[in-house]
Chains A and B, each alone.
Chain A
Amino acid sequence: MHPIVAKQQLGPEMDQYEVEAPRVAQAANPGQFVVVRLHDRGERIPLTLADWDASRGTITLVVQAVGKTTWEMHDRLSVGDGLRDVVGPLGEPSEIVPEGTAVCVAGGVGIAPVYPIARALKEAGAKVVGIAGARSSDLLFWLDRLRDVCDELVVTTDDGSTGRKGLVTEPLAEILAARRVAHVWAVGPAVMMKFCAKAAGNAGVPITVSLNPIMIDGTGMCGACRVEVDDKVRFACVDGPEFPGDKVNWDLLIARLTAYQEQERCAVDKYRRMVEEATR
């Protein structure tokens, strides 16, 4: 059991958890993830590390409620409860490119995993430009943290409720056109990463993205997370999760993410009915 030592709501359906996982905290690096299971009948879900503290023996996760498991975390877990299983850190750490200017693009809940990458880049001596975007202001979080590790930070919202109105790809394209950028990082929804990769590709700048396919074990055992990079099949869990964005077969990734849509909907509906009956 991994006790939750702190929980903080960051947005309407988004929470930050600090969870005891001493071995993971000891070994963690930017770009890596954990696989989490809530209880004996739970599914295994991958979550990218948002932060860790080896001395406290804890890791930080930011989770948006979208599926049954993440809704359950949002509704039912609080300080004193625990996660049944936490395994990690999994995947390869980010390859930090220390020279020149790095642009770190974060979309929605992707702000969390971008934070340790930006911090590592900054510590390695890069000039870091952050771009953080979300649908609206209530879905933005950790902007102060990002400002601490970025030399500049551009904030966008789809509805213009905070920062610049529009998508993250617009400031990205402008920066790529105006300055010499050594490397781009993008973490967020697959579609966002796809268009960031296009923009970086057009500018001839290397881009690293963090892929989020369906996984079970997270250790290379099942192959559910097969992705195509540079026309080769790779396992996101052990070969990634970070890959050169311009080489990723995005349509395949996006299609495979829908493989269990129907079952996911069924699980969420059943969970909601159960919650409603319990509260009636």
Chain B
Amino acid sequence: MIRENQVPMREQDPGSRIRNFAEVPLGYDEEEAREEAARCLKCKRKPCAAGCPVEVDIPTFIKQVENGEFRAAAATIKRTNSLPAVCGRVCPQETQCQGVCTLGKKFEPSAIGRLERFVADWERQHGAELAQPAAPSGRRVAVIGSGPAGLTCAGDLRLMGHEVTMFESLHEPGGVLMYGIPEFRLPKDVVNFEVEGIRSLGVNIETNVVVGKTVTVEGLFAEGYEAVFAGTGAGLPRFLGIPGETLIGVYSANEFLTRVNLMRAWEFPAWDTPVRMGRRVAVVGGGNVAMDAARTALRLGAESVMVLYRRTETEMPARAEEIHHAGEEGVEMNFLVNPVEFYGEDGDLTAMECLRMELGPPDDSGRRRPVPIEGSEFVLEVDTCIVSVGNQPHPLVPRTTPGLEVSRWGTVQADESGATTRRGVFAGGDIVTGAATVISAMGAGKQAAAAIDRYLVSNR
């Protein structure tokens, strides 16, 4: 008799968790994990593995968990996924592996993400076994950016025996995993552990190097690197472009989250970087970053936090789990609302004027286009607004690398293997696709590592 529903994962209750930055879901213990693993049908078709951008052998690792072979399960996952503790937490499993799970046709799908997280955490607590890189190839590769794409690409290239240096513009490696995703969703200890895993393979990490400023891609070739991978992400915040956006109290989500996550402003003044948090907060946008910003604002002591989204809940790009968590914590969702102007006094934000919207015919994204309702203006009193309407590709590497072509959206043009229009330069992740997911960036980093390996062999 199969259990119809997933084994629930314990969580911090909403009332207490909005007063701390500790992780919200608490993970499975061994018994819970084995019970959940036993639900898997071990079907022959394995749609889950095909639904995974890095093709983790999901049925095998689940079988190993069921048998209590946790270390073997970790090895199975790590054969194709170098960041399991991250993926188990932030992957949108519901649209990938779990979305196509055979069990899910009748009951709740196998809780693959929770099991992956369990295995990765178990290994972290019990000591990880290090993979052994292949014999040194004598070839040098530079990886630009240490986010999900760069970490994956660097790790894979190192395992193939190449000498790899990963360049990071900030003072800590991890990219968006460090500055973007909050502690309560992805603890920084977890990220650091994964980064240290990559470092212990023998990958050199140079922080504080802004490629395009400190050194150019051409300069890296001159230093003796034979191939370059650019995984520089989509780090440039979009603003609304409406009057009053330079008032104090209006943040980009990037600024707000960087202050809190990377600079640990929630521990000011023990840590040096402050963050100004008001009482009434509006977050503009409907993605995961908007949910992160809203939930962070609550934890910093905001009295009320509302999300303003110009479409409806159905069109929200955020994961259902994030929307659910935000709602539980008291974030108020306002749909079909679009800001048109910020108002202030003495340079500080005091209010914002918004319009009510309705859904018209579908736009390019296939979602119904929000259309303003005439005469529906209304004013919201807010002292803080966090603008979370997406990020653009970082222009620095393309702008300073001759021969590297970009699209009209500023994304680097690369084929499926990651090869760009500039010989020896490969790219992957958000810099190629525009803002997307951690796992798709990892998939691209993986493809590019294989392509770089082939390039180095053919280019001997």
A residues at B contact (CB < 8 Å): 23-24, 26-27, 37, 41-44, 68-69, 84-90, 216-217, 219-224, 226-228, 233, 238, 252, 255-256, 258-260, 263-264, 266-267, 270
Contacts and interface: CB of A to CB of B under 8 A. Distances in A.
Contacts of B213: 27, 88-90, 219
Nearest to A249: B246
B347 A220 contact: no
Interface of B: 169-171, 179, 207-210, 213-215, 235-237, 239, 241, 245-246, 248, 251-252, 254-255, 258-259, 263-264, 268-274, 276, 346-347, 394-396
A89 B245 CA distance: 28
Contact of A233 (B179, B209, B239, B274): B239
Contacts of B270: 41
B119 to A, nearest CB: 31
A256 B246 contact: yes
Contact of A266 (B246, B263, B269): B269
Given A44-B263, A267-B269, A223 B254 contact: yes
Nearest to A222: B255
Contacts of B271: 41
A217 B269 contact: no
A89 B274 contact: no
A221 B235 contact: yes
8 contacts: A41-B270, A85-B208, A90-B210, A221-B237, A222-B254, A228-B246, A238-B396, A263-B276
A217 B170 contact: yes
Given A44-B273, A220-B235, A220-B394, A255 B208 contact: no
A266 B271 CA distance: 12
Contacts of B254: 221-223
Nearest to A34: B208
A43 B272 CA distance: 5
Given A23-B214, A87-B214, A224 B255 contact: yes
Given A217-B258, A255-B346, A256-B248, 9 more contacts: A44-B171, A44-B263, A69-B272, A89-B214, A90-B210, A217-B170, A220-B395, A222-B255, A222-B258
A24 B235 contact: no
Given A87-B209, A220-B236, A223-B252, A263 B169 contact: no
Contact of B207 (A27, A85, A258): A85
B272 A222 contact: no
Contacts, number: 115
A221 B258 contact: yes
B122 to A, nearest CB: 29
B269 A260 contact: no
A117 B25 CA distance: 55
Contacts of A87: 169-171, 208-210, 214
B209 A219 contact: no
A179 B84 CA distance: 69
B16 to A, nearest CB: 26
B319 to A, nearest CB: 23
Interface centre among A23, A86, A222, A267, by most chain B C-beta atoms within 10 angstroms, is A222
A267 B169 contact: no
Contact of A216 (B245, B263, B269, B276): B263
A25 to B, nearest CB: 11
Contacts of B268: 263, 267
Interface centre among B210, B235, B346, B395, by most chain A C-beta atoms within 10 angstroms, is B210
A19 B394 CA distance: 29
A86 B171 CA distance: 9
B396 A219 contact: yes
Nearest to B259: A216
Interface centre among B213, B258, B346, B347, by most chain A C-beta atoms within 10 angstroms, is B213
Contacts of A90: 210, 213
Contacts of A263: 268-269, 274, 276
Contacts of A216: 255, 258-259, 263, 273
A270 B246 contact: no
A161 to B, nearest CB: 35
Contacts of A252: 246, 347
Nearest to A92: B213
Nearest to B346: A255
Contacts of A258: 248, 347
Contacts of A37: 171
Nearest to B209: A23
A235 to B, nearest CB: 9
Contacts of B263: 43-44, 216
Contacts of A228: 246
Nearest to B255: A222
Contacts of A23: 209, 214-215
B347 A221 contact: no
Contacts of B214: 23-24, 27, 87-89
Nearest to A271: B269
A263 B394 CA distance: 31
Nearest to A41: B271
| In the complex, the 6 A-B pairs of residues with the closest C-beta atoms, listed nearest first | A255-B347, A263-B274, A43-B272, A222-B255, A87-B208, A223-B252
A68 B272 contact: yes
Contacts of B259: 216
Contacts of A256: 246, 248, 347
B237 to A, nearest CB: 5
Nearest to B180: A221
Contact of A43 (B208, B209, B245, B273): B273
Contacts of B252: 222-223
B322 to A, nearest CB: 22
B245 A233 contact: yes
Contacts of B215: 23, 26-27
Contacts of B170: 87, 217
B256 to A, nearest CB: 9
Contact of A88 (B210, B239, B274): B210
A233 B246 contact: yes
Nearest to B208: A87
Nearest to A38: B272
Given A86-B208, A87-B208, A223-B239, A259 B245 contact: no
